[in-house]
Structure 1
Amino acid sequence: MKTLKATIAVMALVLFSAFTITNEGGYKVGDIATDFKLENIDGTMVSLADYKDAKGFIVIFTCNTCPYAVAYEDRIEALNKKYASKGYPVIAIMPNNTDVKPGDSMEAMRARAKAKGFTFPYLMDAGQKIYPKYGATKTPHVYVLQKTDKGNQVKYIGAIDDNYQDANAVNKKYVENAVDALLAGKEVQETHTRAIGCTIKV
């Protein structure tokens, strides 16, 4: 009986941790995000510094295998189409350990991007060195950055919107609201929301 109770307690803890969001050790709103150089699906190495004319970035940690990430693919593409020309391109980064998730391999990423017609870079966080710096815990997990004299400053962290299940039932478009505010020279009103998605696989 004690063994059963202990097993249930452990399972409850694992389940709780899967849905608990922490950002320990990662960036907070107002921090300056360091640049990176990661491989894109076309074989090129991409960094934020490559975007000389950008006003900022919509950095999204996402993947092929998470149902939440898949549910948001069209909305991520829509974000890039709406904001890349305005100076805020989407930079998608796949953070999972591909030994644990073979469906997130570079080959699979290329196939998915081609099938969906992604217009944004889809980078692999090889060695999983970048997502811990950001403090990303889920796929998808969004960081809106604004270029400043000090560097790329974090202005928003969290979810894309408030309804992962149905794009037509969204009430709050967190990322769009954040970017629209920055483009208008205003402060972002809602700077942090709870990212909903699958845990990043290590």
Structure 2
Amino acid sequence: MKIIKTSAVVSIFVFITLAFTMKTDAGYKVGDKIEDFKLKNINGKMVSLSDYKTAKGFIIIFTCNTCPYSVANEDRIVAIDGKYKTKGYPVIAINPNDPNVSKGDGFEDMKVRATEKGFTFPYLLDAKQEVFPKFGASKTPHVFIVTKSTMKVEYIGAIDNSSRNADAVTEKYVENALDFLLVGKTPEKTETRAIGCSIKINKKS
């Protein structure tokens, strides 16, 4: 009897997980040209890539407030923005989660989190969940590096090779890719596996 009850609980859990998460295999690939977008920043202003007149490119990171992997990478994201924004590659953070499904990922929650962590970059809400599917983002965090002159994707994947423990990092994927791009070279690694939480969507919407 216990086995039957356990199986039923597991089945329900799996069903709920599948119902409220999305894995997107479609979307931009390395070398693809992206479309610009316009999303609301936590300061209430709309932000698009075309606003960045002097940028050389963008570090677009799909992240959120609630995923442990995203939280573990927040300081690293702030550091990357501080290092590369002045070199022409600012971070653009986008929260793709539906706040009705993922409690704690609402617009007001984003404001609080950004203030607490000292975000130095825009933190945008993909309110209609129309941007992340175009990119093919499936995790938080999930990184896409794009050059502005061509609007082409140069790198897709993880921030580095340690999803949770910053002290265990031995290879900085994003920084390595940016260092190559800044000297006009193609990154040695253009794609890595993003590790994090699945993006939360509302199947009823």
Query: Contact (CA 8 Å) 2:23, 2:199: kept in 1 or not?
Result: no
Unaligned runs of 5+ in 1: none
Deviation at 1:22, TM superposition (A): 6.0
Deviation of 1:184 after TM superposition, in Å, equals: 1.0
| Amino acid across the alignment from 2:115 | K
Q: What SS does the corresponding residue of 2:180 show, helix, strand or coil? A: helix
TM-score by length of 2: 0.88
Determine the C-alpha separation between the residues in 2 that align with 1:35 and 1:145: 11
Compute the displacement of 1:167 (Å): 1.1
Taking only the aligned residue pairs, the percentage that are identical comes to 57
Cα deviation for residue 152 of structure 1 reads: 1.0
After TM superposition, list the pairs within 5 Å mapping 1:70-85 onto structure 2: 70-85=71-86
Shift of 1:53: 0.3
Q: Which residue of 1 aligns with 2:193?
A: 194
Count of residues paired in the alignment: 197
| CA–CA distance in structure 2, aligned partners of residues 4 and 111 of structure 1 | 41
Q: Letter of the 1:78 partner, please give it.
A: A
SS at match of 1:178: helix
CA contact (8 A) 2:24 2:133 kept: no
Structure 2 residue aligned with 1:45? 46
AA partner of residue 176 (structure 1): E
Q: Secondary structure at the match of 1:86?
A: coil
Distance 2:24 2:128 in 1: 20
Superposed displacement of residue 102, structure 1: 2.6
Aligned counterpart, 1:157:
156
Superposition deviation, residue 60 in structure 1: 0.1
- Seen in structure 2, the aligned counterparts of structure 1 residues 44 and 12 have a Cα distance that, compared at 3 Å, is closer
Q: Which runs of 5+ in 2 are unaligned?
A: none
Q: Are the aligned partners of 2:85 and 2:91 in contact in 1 as well (CA < 8 Å)?
A: yes
Q: Counterparts of 2:155 and 2:166 in 1: how far apart (Å)?
A: 20
Q: In the alignment, what sits opposite 1:180?
A: 179
Partner of 1:99: 100
What does 1:1-202 align with in structure 2 at a 5 Å threshold? Answer: 24-148=25-149, 151-202=150-201
Give secondary structure in 1 for the equivalent of 2:89: coil
Distance in 2 of aligned mates of 1:23 and 1:132: 7
Distance in 1 between residues matched to 2:23 and 2:152, nearest whole Å = 20
User: Offset of 1:59 from its aligned partner?
Assistant: 0.1
SS of equivalent residue, structure 1 residue 199: strand
CA–CA distance in structure 2, aligned partners of residues 51 and 196 of structure 1: 29
In the superposition, the TM-score normalised over structure 1's length comes to 0.89
CA distance in 1, matches of 2:33, 2:27: 11
Q: Output one character per residue of 1:156-199: Cα deviation in whole Å (capped at 9) or x when no partner.
A: 00000000222122111000011110001111111111100000
Distance apart, 1:24 and its partner CA = 2.1
Q: Which runs of 4+ in 1 moved over 3 A?
A: 1-14
* Conservation of the 8 A alpha-carbon contact between 2:23 and 2:198: no
